[in-house]
Amino acid sequence: MEYILNEVLIPLSYLLASILFIFGLKQLAHPQTARRGMNLAAAGMLVAIVGTLFHHDIISYDLIIIGLIVGSLIGAAMSIWMPMTAMPQRTALSHAFGALAASLVGVAEYWHALHSGQPIAAYKMTALGFEVLFGSLTVTGSLLAFAKLQELMRGTPVTYKGQNILNVSLFALAAFIFIYLVFDPGQTTLFFIMVGLSFLFGILLVLPIGAADMPVVMSLMNSYAGLAAAATGFAINNKVLIIAGTLDGFSGFILSILMCKAMNRSITNVLFGAFGSPVDDTAVVVQGEMKEIGAEDVAMQLAYARQVVFVPGYGLATAQAQHVVRELGEALEHRGVQVKYAIHPVAGRMPGHMNVLLAEANVPYSDLYELEQINPEMPATDVAVVIGANDVVNPDARDNPKSPIAGMPIIEVDKCHTVIVLKRGRGKGFSGLENPLFYKNNTRMLYGDAKASLTKLAQEVQHA
């Protein structure tokens, strides 16, 4: 019976879990199938956990039960009480928890191997080294990303003289200790110094990254957490961890590259933590004044337009205005107006944030246009409605080489005939920069919470 359990049933459960992860990931690639993909992956995780609970190495279930209860309570509380707008912070916390688990397993496994009376094989020490290196730096890096996203600290990059030299030296020292340990694993003090250095490196890695570059941090931490899990799999010879960790690690890495492309940054800059400069507001020269407009006037312009482009941003998420923007869009379409949604890859606070919100409101996927698709249409667009977006429509990124976000591609709403900006007041975007768009001659400001403004617009359009 024990043979069947260990050699057949547990490996089968891992195989099934891996298949579910792979199909889940595939389905996550499209908004229409993403929900099913998520459920498949969650089912895979359940199968993997149940399989592991039968593992012959388990001698007592007491601590496992306590862990399950505590973990489930924390997970349920985060899902129930953290608002959708805090999803990026929640994701950062999940990365930190996952990486902490990998680091703890790494330290425990090292300790166990050290006292087993057998020498630690070089391959095992290599896996353990990767595990604690990636795991520990992801814990502190993700916690710092959480603090920045939660605005517990300044979200802009923190830079100081000699930062890169310090970072690279610290990383080199940790890497040197790691290599030394592969040849001489018994140096316990060095092992814990390496763990400490990795914790410190995580903080130093994320400190200089901030403002508009935060999406890259998020996807990078995702990738590191996955790689730490994969290394755990090698260290404890667990195949489902190797497969799931590698899928997570490399999909996170591919996402990092895509985010870099979206931000017009090179991945080498990101990997060496050398990008991100302090916000220099003096580089932003704004001329003119912000001109306010009423909902009735906006509704008239929308109702008689030929083409309207909605540009959602983080404010759409905070206002939870995704359903009402779809209602307004439908009202306009009934009047024969061509309605399109322009999606910037880093709009909101996490990759795909806008796609998720609009899919939740059943906005047809065919109405969503990526930056490269929509920008050529801007000069022929009558009205662009910017809904709680700021950085992603900041023309300084294109026009002002001194701007901290210079080179970041934007949705060029300023090229439209008229731009209507829906925001509550003079609040800045995540980068903390002034936005010259709001002062342009063809821009009008409709102040108020995005949901309230859109509701009013939808009503007015019905009567126009």
Residues acting as catalytic residues? 391
User: CA-to-CA distance for 57 and 21, rounded, in angstroms?
Assistant: 25
Q: Which residues fall within 8 angstroms of residue 165, CB to CB, at 6 or more apart?
A: none
Binding residue for ligand NAP, selected from 337, 346, 368, 457, defined by CB under 6 A? 346
Minimum distance of ligand NAP from residue 320's CB (angstroms): 8
Residues 127-186 that bind ligand NAP (CB under 6 A): none
What is the torsional sign of CA 361, 363, 365, 367? Answer: negative
Say whether residue 88 binds ligand NAP (CB under 6 A): yes
Say whether residue 95 binds ligand NAP (CB under 6 A): no
User: CA-to-CA distance for 406 and 394, rounded, in angstroms?
Assistant: 10
Candidates 12-20, 92-100, 123-131, 309-317; binding stretch for ligand NAP (CB under 6 A)? 309-317
User: CA-to-CA distance for 462 and 142, rounded, in angstroms?
Assistant: 47
Binding residue for ligand NAP, selected from 132, 139, 197, 214, defined by CB under 6 A? 214
Say whether residue 315 binds ligand NAP (CB under 6 A): yes
Say whether residue 319 binds ligand NAP (CB under 6 A): yes
Candidates 23-31, 92-100, 119-127, 345-353; binding stretch for ligand NAP (CB under 6 A)? 345-353
Say whether residue 314 binds ligand NAP (CB under 6 A): yes
Say whether residue 191 binds ligand NAP (CB under 6 A): no
Q: Considering beta carbons, is residue 340 or 353 the nearer one to ligand NAP?
A: 353
Length of the chain counted residue by residue: 464
Neighbours of 339 (CB within 10 A): 22
Taking CA atoms, 46 is separated from 8, 18, 240, in Å, by 18, 11, 12
Say whether residue 389 binds ligand NAP (CB under 6 A): yes
Minimum distance of ligand NAP from residue 251's CB (angstroms): 15
Say whether residue 411 binds ligand NAP (CB under 6 A): no
Candidates 120-128, 180-188, 324-332, 346-354; binding stretch for ligand NAP (CB under 6 A)? 346-354
**Residue 401 · residue 359 · CB < 8 Å:** no
- Nearest of 419, 456, 445, 416 to residue 327 by alpha carbon: 456
Say whether residue 456 binds ligand NAP (CB under 6 A): no
Q: Considering beta carbons, is residue 48 or 392 the nearer one to ligand NAP?
A: 392
**Residue 273 · residue 208 · CB < 8 Å:** yes
User: CA-to-CA distance for 444 and 453, rounded, in angstroms?
Assistant: 14
Say whether residue 262 binds ligand NAP (CB under 6 A): no
Q: Considering beta carbons, is residue 98 or 313 the nearer one to ligand NAP?
A: 313
Applying CB under 6 A, the site for ligand NAP has a residue count of 34
User: CA-to-CA distance for 113 and 401, rounded, in angstroms?
Assistant: 55
What burial class does residue 220 get, using C-beta atoms within 10 Å of its C-beta: 0-12 exposed, 13-18 middle, 19+ buried? Answer: buried
**Residue 137 · residue 202 · CB < 8 Å:** yes
Binding residue for ligand NAP, selected from 95, 265, 349, 440, defined by CB under 6 A? 349
Candidates 101-109, 168-176, 240-248, 428-436; binding stretch for ligand NAP (CB under 6 A)? 428-436
Helix, coil or strand: residue 397: helix
Minimum distance of ligand NAP from residue 83's CB (angstroms): 12
Taking CA atoms, 65 is separated from 25, 94, 106, 325, in Å, by 29, 20, 21, 46
Contact set with ligand NAP (CB under 6 A): 88, 212, 214-215, 218, 313-315, 318-319, 346-351, 353, 388-392, 422-431, 449-450
